[in-house]
Structure 1
């Protein structure tokens, strides 16, 4: 019999690794560009391998975890991230570097899905609250990577630091090996017919497209804020990065608070409240030329975006508890497509109409997501009681 506390700790360690993975390329890309003398096209290709790997991992993890369980997948994918990080640290060819980045994306994508599904499965109630606490560890991993690099680069080479971080991943791997996990829910697997039927499930599709916009908006802020502040508000690079860190900290702290709040307040009320805060943050960003006020706007956006994934994944875990792995896989794939699509759209919009449209695209996305949430609740009023 597994112990919930140990299993939850294992999920948090897996999410911590995913946080490191997601931020890793952004933290080291300038150095890799210099080391391998990459042009803009090669740099863009390199950066795209991480989300591509995450997407592939997200597609395949669901049916595997439903059939074979969590333990082996957590161990294998953590080891893939270790290999990828060591490959980045030690690679002397661009080809090996590409493989390494794809591996950390692929392993990280599976870890993201597996940890969310695992926490949902072991939570008999308050799934959203526990998923929110899980998200805190993503924030710790995402914040920790650039902080560690910043502190240690004075004393060690970047290659040695990356290699050292990779070796530390053996700590969670050993922990995964040492504890028991829930048994597979569907050891016989899911028939292809049933999977196809799931793809046509209206409620699951609605959940997926809510996360389409949530993921897209988070990606917009993470990827475009520094450029927006530099070009539109004439903020220097250091201060722009500092401002972005407030967004990540606000989201992480809010998810810690939501771990308590979602046990006391209906999830849909929390979600709509957070969307209202995000809307306020967008207007603050839209109408200010002050760096200090812009930071306040980013903090409001961090608070506002904190509830999206925990609440919606909590709903998915409740409604599709018997096939949670496959259901999580489906909605997370749609979320990743949203991240890529909305960020690609921002590139086109910025090229054609200017970077000032960054806040306009954020505003439109928040409104569309809010309408989708409202429609989902209207079509499925029983969700209100979850």
Structure 2
């Protein structure tokens, strides 16, 4: 079981890297292909579209191929996509290959998350938070590596390095899955001859709970991505600082996100999932208000550090808590919630960008505060809900 958690952490490290590569290399790609930022936006969109397709089709593909085979295939998608892009083919080929990377990343995120929730019996929050630590480490460290490769003029090696990582991970995963087929096949399934409660269809109250969970993830990831994408611009427009200093804000945010994820699982297990989520979401509201009111750089950086710290465990712990409300539907629930999070990240990033362009910085910051308040309201509602009614099913 411990080996399963660690190899799943490697999967999350990989998709943490893939989530930032295109954005971090965007200026270099635009310069190489002679494209503008509208074309760059198309590049980011096709990767997101591939990610969304991967999340949506993951439950069906999992039933058809099994988790072990499916994860091997998705690593091949990422490997093939980046291998072709690394040779810097014509622009339209890049646009066709990047969705393969997004598709593989979407399947990996939803499959590995569901696998850990199903397979780990004790301290699920600790295991999930460990996954998020590795995702954050990938998102934090990859831009630093890219910056070094850009400095030496070999930025295209980013793609080949990721291909090598995916290849090594594929070999490790094939060996692990072949020797642990029983674990992968039975995770989340009832034992033979045991009567368990399994929800077959969601109706009425169950659909309302699911909609509440979907809205929670839609708003949370929208808030997180808005902060990550526009924090440097917000500081540049509101304070007399240069771009290099402003860009540090994202590193500070991700740094405390990673540190917070080291402890969030233990805290959630100790104090309870719903209580932990409410505390952290409330603290996020308070420190976002502090950021909106802050006028000096040191105070703003302090608020950013605290926001990252308290937001660090919201996604992983909310994913576990939401799945606990739908026993027996881990893959279906996880797929829907991650799909909602992807759409929310794209939608609110677009909306925040429009507010930055056509409204004031203060309005944008208070908009983020409102999103955080909505999170708290949704968590209050969810904390009062019990698992959906189930139907008795006898496993044979």
Superposition TM-score, scaled by structure 2 size? 0.88
Q: Does 1:263 align with 2:269?
A: yes
Tell me if structure 2 keeps the 8 A contact 1:117–1:328. Answer: yes
| 2:247 paired residue among 217, 231, 241 | 241
Distance 1:61 1:169 in 2: 19
Structure 1 equivalent of residue 229 of structure 2: 223
Q: Note the C-alpha offset of 1:233.
A: 1.8
Structure 1 pair 25–65 and aligned structure 2 pair: CA distance change class (3 A): same
Superposition TM-score, scaled by structure 1 size? 0.90
Q: Does 1:74 align with 2:85?
A: no
Structure 2 equivalent of residue 42 of structure 1: 39
SS at match of 2:35: coil
SS at match of 1:313: helix
Structure 2 equivalent of residue 207 of structure 1: 213
Q: Note the C-alpha offset of 1:273.
A: 1.4
Q: Note the C-alpha offset of 1:98.
A: 0.8
Structure 1 pair 357–166 and aligned structure 2 pair: CA distance change class (3 A): farther
Tell me if structure 2 keeps the 8 A contact 1:66–1:325. Answer: no
Q: Note the C-alpha offset of 1:151.
A: 2.9
Distance 2:325 2:357 in 1: 42
Distance 1:199 1:106 in 2: 32
Distance 1:111 1:381 in 2: 26
Q: Note the C-alpha offset of 1:354.
A: 2.5
Q: Which blocks of at least 5 consecutive residues in structure 2 are unaligned?
A: 191-198, 389-396
| 2:57 paired residue among 56, 60, 64 | 60
Tell me if structure 1 keeps the 8 A contact 2:281–2:376. Answer: yes
SS at match of 2:271: coil
Structure 2 equivalent of residue 343 of structure 1: 349
Structure 2 equivalent of residue 183 of structure 1: 185
Deviations 1:178-206 (A, max 9, x none): 1125106679xxxxx96786996222221
Tell me if structure 2 keeps the 8 A contact 1:66–1:323. Answer: no
Tell me if structure 2 keeps the 8 A contact 1:126–1:262. Answer: no
Structure 1 pair 20–274 and aligned structure 2 pair: CA distance change class (3 A): same
Tell me if structure 1 keeps the 8 A contact 2:52–2:342. Answer: yes
Deviations 1:14-51 (A, max 9, x none): 11111011111111001001111112321211121222
Tell me if structure 2 keeps the 8 A contact 1:74–1:111. Answer: yes
SS at match of 1:124: coil
Structure 1 equivalent of residue 361 of structure 2: 355
Distance 2:105 2:79 in 1: 10
Structure 1 pair 87–321 and aligned structure 2 pair: CA distance change class (3 A): farther
Distance 1:198 1:251 in 2: 37
RMSD in angstroms over aligned alpha carbons? 2.3
Structure 1 equivalent of residue 256 of structure 2: 250
Structure 1 pair 32–161 and aligned structure 2 pair: CA distance change class (3 A): same
Distance 2:319 2:146 in 1: 32
Distance 2:170 2:91 in 1: 28
Structure 1 pair 177–197 and aligned structure 2 pair: CA distance change class (3 A): farther
Q: Note the C-alpha offset of 1:307.
A: 2.2
Deviations 1:156-175 (A, max 9, x none): 51112321232222111111
Distance 1:379 1:267 in 2: 13
Q: Note the C-alpha offset of 1:298.
A: 1.1
Deviations 1:176-235 (A, max 9, x none): 001125106679xxxxx9678699622222111111111111111111111112222243
Structure 1 pair 272–316 and aligned structure 2 pair: CA distance change class (3 A): closer
Tell me if structure 2 keeps the 8 A contact 1:206–1:372. Answer: yes
